[in-house]
Amino acid sequence: LISQKSMIQKMNRQLPSSIVELLKAIGQMADERQHPIYLVGGIVRDLLLEKRNEDIDIVIEGDAIVFAERLVQSLGGTYKAHSDFGTATWITETNYKIDLVTCRTEYYDAPGTLPSVKASNIREDLSRRDFTINALALQLNEAKFGTLLDYFQGQHDLQNKQIRVLHSLSFVEDPTRIFRAIRFALRLNYDLAEQTTQLALDAAHMVKLISPHRLMRELKLLAFEDHLCRGIEQLDQLSIWEELFNAPLTVKRTKMLNSLKEHRIQDVYLYLLVFLTDRNGEILRQYALSSEHQRLLDELHELEGQQEPFYSFGSAHKQLHNIQDKSLLFYSIREDDEWIYTYTLRRSQLIPLLTGNDLIENGLTPGPLFKLILFQLACMQLDGEIDTKEEAIEWLNKQLSEK
Ligand code: CTP
C-alpha cells in the first residue's frame, strides 16, 4: 500500500496547491466534530494513475448537509443541499464545486425496488461502489491526511490493469455498470477481470431494465471519450445487443457503424439505429428522446415509403429537399444506396449560382417567388443543366421574358 507520505507527495505534485489547502481545511473542520472524512472516487483513482482530475467528491461519516453549512460559515462560499439524497454541493469562494455525501449503505427491501439508504461508515460506503479501482478513499482528517484506504485491492487492480467488480451481484443491482466497465476498460486500456466478464455475461439479460434515458447517457459518455465503436463491439461480446434488441453485431452492422464513424457522425442515436430495423418501430421511438430524433425517424419512414424511382438528382431534390443530410446519409448507408448517397453529397456541396441580391439586380422585387426561383435553379444545377452564374442569369431572363 502506498504510504501516507508518498500519497501527500502525489497530491502536491498533481493537484493545484489551492485544492490541497482546501482539502486540508476540510479535514480540520471535520476534526472539530470528530467526523471521519474522505476524498473518494475518480479523483483518488486518477491521483494514483497520475491523470488529471479535479472533481472533488467527499464522503463524511456525519451529516453532509450540516457539514456543508459549517464549511460555508467558516470558509465562505455557498452551498446547495439535496435533502432527498442527504447530499450537498459546496461552491467555494474560489468557485470550486465540492460534492459532499454522507457515508451510506443502500439495501434492497425487495428485488427490483429502489434501494433504501441508511447512514454507515466509509467501508460500507465504498463496498457499494462499482469497481475496485473506484472504491479507493483518501482520509482528510489532519492526523491521517493522505492515508489511502484500499479495502478491495484497488491498487493491485490498477497495477494489473483490471476492471473488477466488488461482489457478484454488482451488475445485477445496476446493469448500467456493464456499460461503465467497458468505458473504463477502453479509457484506461484495461481488461475486465475474468470473473467480472463472466458476471457481466450472466447479468446481460438485465440490461433490458435500463431506461432508454440512462442507456443513451452511457452511450454518449462512450462517444465523448471517442470509444463508441470499440465499446459497441465489446458490448456485443457480452451479448448486450442480442439481449436488448435481439440484434447481434453482424458483419453488415459492423460495416454500417464504421461508415457512420468515417462520416464523423456524432449523434449516438444513429449508432443505436443500426441495431433497430423497421421491424421494431416501437422500440425505435422509445429511444428517440428528443424532437430531433423523432424527426429522424419520421424522415427515415418517409424515405422507406418512397415508391417512385428518381430519374435525376434535380427531381429527387424536389421531393427530398426538406430531409436532413443525416437522415439521408443513414438511409443510404443502411440500404447501400449509392445514388442517394451521391445526391446527399452533391446537395451538401452545392454553392448557389445566384443570390437574392442578384435577383433584385435583375429587376425582381423580393417576395415568395424568390424562394421558388432559387430552388428551381438549385434543381437545375444538381442536374448539371446550368453550371455558371451567366447561364443562371440567361435562364432567369428567359423565364421573365416568357411571362
Ligand atoms: N458509481 C457506482 N455505480 C454507478 C455509477 C457510479 O458505483 N452506476 C460510483 C463509482 O464508484 C464512482 C462514483 O460512483 O467512482 C462516482 O461516479 P462517476 O462520477 O460516474 O465516476 P467517476 O469514477 O468519477 O468517473 P469519471 O472519471 O468518468 O468522472
CATH number where 114 lies: 3.30.460.10
What ligand 1 atom has the least distance to the C-alpha of 180?
8
Last residue of a domain, one of 108, 141, 160: 160
- Centroid of ligand 1 to alpha carbon of 131 (angstroms): 9
- Ligand 1 atom having least distance to the Cα of 41: 15
**Residues flanking ligand 1, CB < 6 Å:** 41-42, 55, 129-130, 134, 174, 176-177, 180
pLDDT at 27 > cutoff 80: yes
User: Tell me: the pLDDT tens digits for 55-105?
Assistant: 999 999 999 999 999 999 999 999 999 988 889 999 999 999 999 999 976
- pLDDT at residue 403 tops 80: no
Rounded distance between C-alpha atoms, residue 310 and residue 319, angstroms: 9
Grid coordinates representing 326? 443525416
Q: Is residue 265 part of a domain?
A: no
pTM: 0.90
What's the pLDDT tens digit per position in 354-379? 999 999 998 899 999 999 999 999 99
Helix (H) or strand (E) holding 69: helix 64-75
CA 42 / ligand 1 centre spacing (Å):
7
Residue of the CA atom closest to atom 29 of ligand 1: 42
> In testing the pocket of ligand 1, which one of 129, 131, 207 has its CB within 8 Å of the most ligand atoms?
129
SS (H, E, C) 364-382: CCCCHHHHHHHHHHHHHHH
| 172 within domain boundaries | no
Output the average pLDDT for the chain.
94
Asked whether residue 377 is assigned to any structural domain, the reply reads yes
Distance 36 CA to ligand 1 centre (A): 21
Checking if the pLDDT of 380 tops 90, the result is yes
What type of residue sits at position 46?
Answer: D
Residue 140 CA to ligand 1 center (angstroms) comes to 20
Taking CA atoms only, the protein residue closest to ligand 1 atom 22 is 42
Crossing angle for the helix pair 4-14 and 17-32, to the nearest 10 degrees: 130
With cell 458483419, the residue in question is 251
pLDDT on residue 309: 85
Query: Does residue 114 have a pLDDT over 70?
Result: no
Q: Are strands 191-192 and 162-163 parallel, antiparallel or unpaired?
A: parallel
Ligand 1 atom having least distance to the Cα of 53: 27
Task: Answer yes or no: is 173 within a domain.
Answer: no
For residue 57, tell me if it sits in a domain: yes
Q: Which of 6-10, 56-60, 383-387, 396-400 has the lowest mean pLDDT?
A: 396-400
pLDDT, tens digit, 9 for 90 and up, residues 307-342: 888 899 999 999 999 999 999 999 999 999 999 999
Atom of ligand 1 nearest to the CA of 128: 7
Per-residue pLDDT reduced to its tens digit, 174-203: 999 999 999 999 999 999 999 999 999 999
Find the 130 Cα to ligand 1 centroid distance in Å.
Answer: 7
Q: Rounded to the nearest 5 degrees, what angle is found at the Cα of 56, between the Cα atoms of 53 and 62?
A: 155
pLDDT band at 112 (very low <50, low <70, confident <90, very high): low
Best residue among 134, 172, 206 to mutate for probing ligand 1, ranked by most atoms within 8 Å of CB: 134
Quick one: how far is CA 65 from the chain centroid?
30
Q: Domain span at residue 375?
A: 356-402
- Nearest alpha carbon to residue 30 among 77, 67, 79: 67
Res. 110 pLDDT band, cuts 50 70 90: low
Q: How many domains does the chain contain in total?
A: 2
DSSP secondary structure letter of residue 350: -
With the C-alpha atoms ordered 239, 244, 250, 254, is the resulting torsion angle positive or negative? negative
| C-alpha grid cell, residue 261 | 464513424
Look at ligand 1, atom 18, and give the residue with the nearest C-alpha: 42
Q: Which pLDDT score, from 0 to 100, does residue 1 have? A: 84
**Section 222-251 average pLDDT:** 96
- H helix or E strand, kind and range, residue 40: strand 37-40
pLDDT exceeds cutoff 80 at 277 = no
* 129 CA to centre of ligand 1 in angstroms: 8
Residue closest by Cα to atom 9 of ligand 1: 129
DSSP string, 220-243: HHHHHTT-HHHHHHHHHHTTHHHH
In a domain, residue 292? The reply is no
Compute the average pLDDT of residues 371-395. 96
Domain boundary among 160, 189, 218: 160
Cell 432508454 locates to 212
Mean pLDDT along residues 213-237: 97
- Give me the interface pTM, i.e. the ipTM: 0.97
Kindly report the protein residue whose alpha carbon is nearest to atom 26 of ligand 1: 42
Could you identify the atom of ligand 1 that is nearest to the CA of residue 43?
A: 24
pLDDT at 281: 73
386 has pLDDT over 90 = yes
Residue 286 has pLDDT above 80, yes or no: yes
Instruction: Say what the pLDDT of residue 378 is.
Output: 97
What is the number of residues in the chain?
A: 403
Contact 125, 105 (CB under 8 A): yes
Which residue's alpha carbon is nearest to atom 16 within ligand 1? 41
The 8 Å CB, 24+ separation contacts for 122-126 are: 122/36, 122/38, 122/59, 122/61, 122/149, 123/149, 123/151, 125/40, 125/59, 125/101, 126/40, 126/151, 126/152
Contact 274, 257 (CB under 8 A): yes
Measured in angstroms, how far is the CA atom of residue 41 from the centroid of ligand 1? Answer: 6
Assigned domain for 228 exists: no
Burial label for 138, CB within 10 Å (0-12, 13-18, 19+), is: buried
| Domain's final residue, options 104, 138, 160 | 160
Cell of 299: 424522415
Q: Who has greater pLDDT, 166 or 106?
A: 166
Specify if 72 maps to a domain.
Answer: yes
41-60, pLDDT tens digit by residue?
999 999 999 999 999 999 99
Instruction: State the Cα–Cα distance between residues 42 and 11, nearest whole angstrom.
Output: 14
Q: Are 116 and 107 in contact (CB under 8 A)?
A: yes
